[in-house]
Amino acid sequence: MKRMNAISRNLKKMLISMSLLCTPVIAQQSDCLQFTVVGICYWYYYYGSDTTILYGHFNPDVIVSVTNPQGVDRAEDGGYLADTQNRNHQNLIYQDARAVGHPLTGRIYCPSNTSALRPYFLSEVDIPSWRWGGLDVFTLAATIPGLREIGRWPLNTWGAVYPRTGWTIQHSEPKSSGIVAQRVGDILTRSHEPHIYSSIKGDFVFVESDKITWSPGSLEENTNVEGWWEALEINSDSSGTSFGQCLLFGENDTLSANGWGGGRVAKNGEYLYTLWRPYTCCEVSVGVLIKIQISPYPVIVMTN
C-alpha cells in the first residue's frame, strides 16, 4: 500500500511537471536568461521513485573586456567615421582582451563551469598567439575565406574568428571589439587550444550544490545554441540597450544608416561583454536517473 501511495504521489508530480512544460516561455527573444522547464528527471529505486523538474537557463559565465591600447585621439583623423571616436587607426585595429568569471555565475539556479572573478584569459600573457598568430595561422579556417565567419559570408561579414588574435581589419571599433570577444569565447569554450588560458568547457555532466547539471558545448558564431553576448555599454555614446538583453555578433547592418557600431562607441576604448551559456539541471534524488527532456534547450534559437 505504501509503495502504491508513493507511486501515486510521483505520478502526480510527473503530471504537474508535464503541465509546466506546456506553459509557453514568457520572454523576449533577446532575453539573456531564457529560464524555463524543459523536462523531468525521473529517479527510480527498488522501493519507489521520485521526480524532480529539469530546468534550463543561460548562466552569465564570464565577462570579456576588450581594450584598444592604440586609442589615442588625433586631430588629423577628422570626424568622418562616426563610430571610431577619432582613434589612432584606420582599418587595422589591435585590441587586448581579458576574461574573468562573472560575479553571478552559477548563482541563478543551475551551477556553472566558471568561478566568480577567476581570471580565464589575459591577452598580455598569450602574446605569442594573440599578437603574432601562433599556430592559429596554419588552420584551414584562417586561410580559406568563408570558414568561421562572424556574419553570413560573402553577403555580410564582420570578420573571421580565425586566426584568434587581437588584430582585426574593421573600420568600426565596436564591431572589432565584438570580433575579439567572439574569438576569446571560442578559445575559452574549447580544450587544448594553442593559447595560454584556462578552459571553461567543463564536464558534459557534473554534480554540484545537490544538482546534476548538463553543460553547454563549445561556442559557435551566428547562433545562440551554445551561448550569446550581453553588451555592457559603460562610458559609451549608446542610446540605451536594455540591461539583460543579449545579441549575436555579425548582424547584417547593410541598410542601417549608422551601422551596428553607431551609438556604441566607448569613450575610453574599453568594451565589456558578458558571455551567457545554456545549462540544464535538476535536483539530485535517490535511484537510477532517467532524464526525460521534452523540449530542446535553448527553446528560442536565434541565428544571423
Give domain limits for the chain.
29-37+56-281
Tell me the pLDDT band of 46, cut-offs 50, 70 and 90. confident
In this predicted model, which residue has the larger pLDDT, 172 or 110? 110
Q: Are 95 and 169 in contact (CB under 8 A)?
A: no
Q: pTM for the complete prediction?
A: 0.86
Over residues 176-186, the pLDDT tens digits come to: 999 999 999 99
Give pLDDT, residue 240.
40
Give pLDDT, residue 27.
52
User: What does 40-92 look like in DSSP terms, one character per residue?
Assistant: EEEEEETTEEEEEEEEEEEEEEEEEEEE-TT----GGG-S--TTSTT-S-SSE
Give pLDDT, residue 217.
97
Over residues 83-135, the pLDDT tens digits come to: 444 444 468 889 999 999 999 999 999 999 999 999 999 999 999 999 999 99
Over residues 202-244, the pLDDT tens digits come to: 999 999 999 999 999 999 999 999 999 999 975 544 444 445 7
Measure the CA–CA gap between 55 and 281, rounded to whole angstroms. Answer: 5
